[in-house]
Every structure is written in structure tokens, then in C-alpha cells.
Chains A and B, each alone.
Chain A
Amino acid sequence: MLRSVFLKTLRDQRRAVLWWVISLLALAAYLAVLYPSIAKTPSYNQMLQAWPKGIVASVMGEFPDYSTPEGYMNSTTFFMMAPLLFIAFAAGLGANAIAGEEEHGTLDLLLANPLPRWRVVLDKFVALLVLTLILGIALWLGLAVGGAAVGMDLDLGRLAAVTLSVVLLGAAFGALAIAVGSATGKRGLSTAVVSVVGIVAYFINSLAPVVEGLQPYRKLSLLYYYIGADPLRNGLNLGHAAVLAGVTLVLVLVAILAFQHRDVGV
């Protein structure tokens, strides 16, 4: 596991990822166990409809619904919880990628090797992608198995579509974190930028359907390209997935260019 920057990055995260996987499996099991009783109690759903639309939309999306498997999964997990967790995970890794080594002081040792800087950024990004994908697989597996155990009628292909979307979303924010960290060498700044962009993007996307003035800006939010086309009901929207992938690619390029052209460790 020490053969490349990519493999070493995976190795460094092995314990953390194990805990993330266990937590996601536990979360999935909890959600599955809760489903039968919630679905059988119409008053929960009536309660959702009775609450102020803006408040409900901001945490569960435009169409809160506990009565169908898709509605339940979207409202409890995929609208807020999953993107929050995946962005936090990927942004943490991304902030550490270059800025972490730089602040810690190991970057000199790493870059003294015959290794181009772009290669370091790329290795760290690919590791981030793989680790985020592992989390995605854990979430999918947990929900699929948990759902099957309680007789929830979920389309596993569409469950994979929404999980893949949240992985792509995480990767995009991870790439943003790498870009800010590579350009500035500051881990704190990277985390701050991702937090602000993430929160703004989240609220633009969630409130746009209920706040008229926000409507035109919804397409500026990365969250829209993750959940806007409801992949759990409709399958993967290739156009939206391409936007997420494209933004990620551009941010990785920015990270590489910024890192190539600056002084490190000053």
C-alpha cells in the first residue's frame, strides 16, 4: 500500500473509512427498521403536509412524503442527510490532500521525489473518488439489504442511481476542497469555502421551489444536479450527472494549474 501517492492515501484513510462504512450501514438499518411503522401511520404524512412549506422543503425537499418507499428515502435520507455526509467526507479529504501535507510540513519530502506536482494532485483526487465510492456502495448496500429485510419495495437500480449521484456530488465538493487547498495551502480556508458554497447551494436548491425569487438561480446550485431530477424515482439523469462530473473535472484542472505555479511551504 506504499507504492504510490494514490495507494498511500487510501491506506491513510483505512480506519476512518471503516468507521464511515459502519456508521452508514447502521444509519441504513435504522431507517429500514423505522419504515414499516411510519408508512402504516398516515398521521405522520398529514403532519408533513400541515407544516409550513418552506421549513419542510428546506429539510425534505419539495415533495415530503412518508407513504411510499421512494418518498420515505428521499425525505429522510437523500434530500439532506446523504449529501451532507458525503460532502463533509469528501471535503475533509480534499482539504487534507495538498494543504494538509503542506501545513503538516511533509510536502517538501514528497515533492523532492521525481514526481510531477500534477501527479500528486491527481493521485489524491482519484483516491478521494475511490473512497467516496466505497461510502456510496456501503450506503446502497445498507439500504438495499435493510429495505429488503422489512419488505420495502425499492428499485435497486434506481437506488444505485441516486447513490451514484450523491457520490458525484461529494466528488465535486471534494474537488473544490482540493482546488482551494492546492491554490492556497490553507486547510482551514478550504474547509470554510466548501462549507459556505455547500450551504448556499443547498438552500438555493431546497428553497427555490417554494421561494419565487430563488427560482432562476436553482440551476446554479450543484445540489440541483444531484437531486433535482429525482434519480430515485426516475433513474440517473445523464445530463445532470455530466454537469457534476464536468464541474469536478474543471476543479481538478484548476487545482493542478494553481499548484504547478506557486511556491509551496512558505
Chain B
Amino acid sequence: MNDTVIRTEDLTKSYGRRRGVVGVNLEIRRGEVFGYLGPNGAGKTTTVRTLLDFIRPTGGQASIFGLDSHRDGLAIRQRVGYLPGELVLYENMTGAEVLRYLGHLRGGVAESRVADLAARLDSDLSRPVKTLSHGNRQKIGLIAAFMHQPELLVLDEPTLGLDPLVQQAFYRLIAEAKAEGRTVFLSSHILPEVERVCDRVGIIREGKLIAVEDVAALKSRALRRLEIHFARPVPPGAFAGVAGVRDLTVEDSILRCTVMGSLDALVKAAAQFEVLNLVSHEPSLEEIFLAYYGGGDSHAA
């Protein structure tokens, strides 16, 4: 029994001098939620669109369900739900019409399923697409991806433009899909989102897959930028050598540093002084790359 749902071997796509992907090796197992994380323009969409046979690799190959992504594209698409990264719907149709059309092209989809998804995502299907905001269009795209209950969901930046409440509903849909044994491949440029919904994450930068890790391992190395404001100037020596602390600077009463992993040691060291404020920043993807992978020239883990 083959439990690999997506496998790419040295997948390469170059468009002359423009961005593409180089030598991507991925293996995604049945029932897992895999996050494909990278900044905009890193090659996420290129990878996704190669998997679905919109574009053809210039090197290597990709298979889904053990089927060749190009030769068996039809059989694959039968079993895949896809949300495009740059979703565009038919402007002069209503959401319901778009979904009915796409449902027919799949050989029919239960209307109750569409209605259920629309209710959960709070999507008004009676309005013409041209009157909808980006987020409301995205909901229709999500319904289209989920409505036929595919074995594999390929979602390119699924939460783009969704308001927080709808995002929560979307996370629940992902959790349900996982509970039902479906596989999810989603791309994102937002680390907390990937940490929240994914089991594993592949990190892509400038067309190269630089790491594939369990989200648990990633979290244990969580990187935060901290600023602690004290009531009075503090001696820098008091924080030297505290576990997990990097890039420490102390200017009068303000301490700035980066912490990897647990905050415990730093908080305990700070507790001996009077703390006025504590500010934490989520690091940008670029900072994570620099901190973890030395700027991205290292090879996949």
C-alpha cells in the first residue's frame, strides 16, 4: 500500500531568466496537512501549478496518488480540490452559478454540501461575483475546492483576504478534512498560520526547498524579538549568557534581544528588576531564514 500522495523528484521549472523552482524534492503522506511556506515570489505557485499540470516541468517529475502529473492529469484532477493563488471567478455570474457550473464539470456535486459550506464560511452565493470583495470571492473559491470532498486539497494561499472569523471556519474545515483521512497541501507566506494548521512544513526560498520539518520541531525553536522596558537602567551583565538569548543590546533601561525557544530563562532573569513593559514581535520570514538556515544557501534538511 502506497501512502505517498504527492511526490516530486528534482522538480525544476525555469522560465528563461524569470523565477521558477529548482530541484524540489517533496514527499507528502496520506492524511497529513502540509504547509508550503515561503515569501511571495519564492516559487510556491509555480510548484502548485506544476502539480496540477497547468505548467510542465523543465526537469524532474511530479506524481500524485502514484500517477504521473502530466500523463494522468485527468485521473488526478478527478480526486483533487484546487484553490488558485490568484483566484478569478466569472464576473457576470453569481456565486451559486459559478459553483453549479464547476460542479457540473465534475459530474455533479450535492447541493446540500455546497449550502453547508456556504453557511459555514458565511458566503452569500446569490450575489453576482462582480459585486463581491476579494475575501468573499475567496470563500467561493474555497467552496469550489472542498465541495466534491476530494482526497487531496491543493490550496494556494487559502486565507488571503479572509476575515479572522472566516479564517477560523477555514481552519476547522482543514481539521475535518484531516480527520476524514484527506490530505492537504497548502501554501502560505505566514508562519503562524502554518504552525497552527499544519503537521509538517516545507520552506521554499528563491525557488529552492531549503528545509522540511515537523511543525512541532519548528515551534520548539520559535524565534521572537523581544523588547523589555525597565523602570531603571539595568546592567547588561545581568543578561549575559541567559539560555536562548541572542543579539542582546541594553540601552539604559531598554533591553532588546532575540529569543529562540523557551522564554523562561529570560523572564526569570528580568524578574529581579522592575519591568514596565514587554513587547514581543513575530519575526518576518526573512529573519527566520537568516536565523535558521543562514540565509538560505544551505541544503534541504
Contact = CB atoms under 8 A, between A and B. Distances in A.
Question: Which residue among A3, A4, A114, A116 has the maximum number of chain B CB atoms within 10 Å of its CB?
Answer: A114
Interface stretch (B100-108, B176-184, B221-229, B267-275): B100-108
Nearest to A263: B55
A109 B102 contact: yes
Contacts of B104: 2-4
Interface residues on B, range: 20 to 34
B54 A114 contact: no
Nearest to B52: A112
Contact of B87 (A109, A115, A265): A109
Contacts of A265: 49, 54-55
Interface stretch (B77-85, B197-205, B208-216): B77-85
B88 A264 contact: no
A106 B91 CA distance: 10
A123 B52 CA distance: 22
Interface string A110-153: 11111110000000000000000000000000000000000000
Contacts of B292: none
A109 B86 CA distance: 10
B54 A111 contact: yes
B279 to A, nearest CB: 41
B147 to A, nearest CB: 12
Contacts of A104: 88
Given A2-B101, A106-B90, A266-B15, A112 B55 contact: no
B74 interface: yes
A106 B54 contact: no
A113 B88 contact: no
Contact of A112 (B82, B88, B92, B107): B82
A108 interface: yes
Nearest to B85: A108
A105 B129 CA distance: 14
A202 B201 CA distance: 61
B74 A114 contact: yes
Contacts of B86: 105, 108
A147 to B, nearest CB: 38
Interface in B46-68: 49, 52, 54-56
B87 A112 contact: no
A5 interface: yes
A4 B101 CA distance: 7
Give the top 5 A-B pairs by smallest Cβ distance, nearest first: A105-B88, A263-B55, A113-B105, A2-B101, A114-B78
26 contacts: A2-B101, A4-B104, A5-B105, A105-B88, A106-B90, A108-B49, A108-B82, A108-B84, A109-B87, A109-B89, A109-B102, A109-B144, A110-B105, A111-B52, A111-B54, A112-B52, A112-B77, A112-B80, A112-B84, A113-B77, A114-B77, A114-B78, A116-B74, A263-B55, A263-B56, A265-B49
Interface of A: 2-5, 8, 12, 104-106, 108-116, 263-266
Given A106-B88, A115-B105, A266-B15, 8 more contacts: A4-B104, A5-B105, A108-B88, A110-B105, A112-B52, A115-B74, A115-B77, A264-B55
